[in-house]
Amino acid sequence: MGIDVLLVDEDEDVLEIVQTFLEQEDDFDVTSELDPEAALEMALTDEYDVVVSDFKMPRLDGLELCAKLRDRERTLPFFLFSAREPADVKPAAEEAGVTGFIQKGTGTEQYSVLAEKIRAAI
């Protein structure tokens, strides 16, 4: 059985790249969404195993998205996948109920790290 991932980022190119790398893993089924408000509704009404979100997005950032899910008692794992420095985000991320933080970078190692953290959280 696959792991259903909801991937949220306002940058379509980033969505395509991350989705491509995650779907190379045998057990990941990825749904991408550009609009964090639409992603909130999707996460509340559809069955996903995990949410992976960018931090900085218009109208609703990754921390706000996570907090809104937690407010509605959605306990699915939630990962921030962001270029921000972990130390800059960690206190607020913990308060919002974020499961983990993976830093975007160059190369492909970050996608393997993300996949392993997702598997560990499921």
Does the pLDDT value for residue 117 go beyond 90? yes
- The three-state secondary structure class of 45 is helix
pTM greater than the 0.85 cutoff: yes
Give the bridge partners for 30, in sequence order. 5
Written as six digits, the tokens of 114 are: 């993300």
Does the pLDDT value for residue 1 go beyond 70? no
Judge whether 65 and 36 are in contact, CB under 8 Å.
yes
Q: What local confidence, expressed as pLDDT, does residue 7 receive? A: 98
Q: What local confidence, expressed as pLDDT, does residue 81 receive? A: 94
Judge whether 18 and 111 are in contact, CB under 8 Å.
yes
22-67 pLDDT, tens digit per residue, is: 999 889 999 999 999 999 999 999 899 999 999 999 889 999 999 9
75-96 pLDDT, tens digit per residue, is: 899 999 998 888 888 889 988 9
d(CA 43, CA 64): 13
Domains of the chain, first to last = 3-121 (3.40.50.2300)
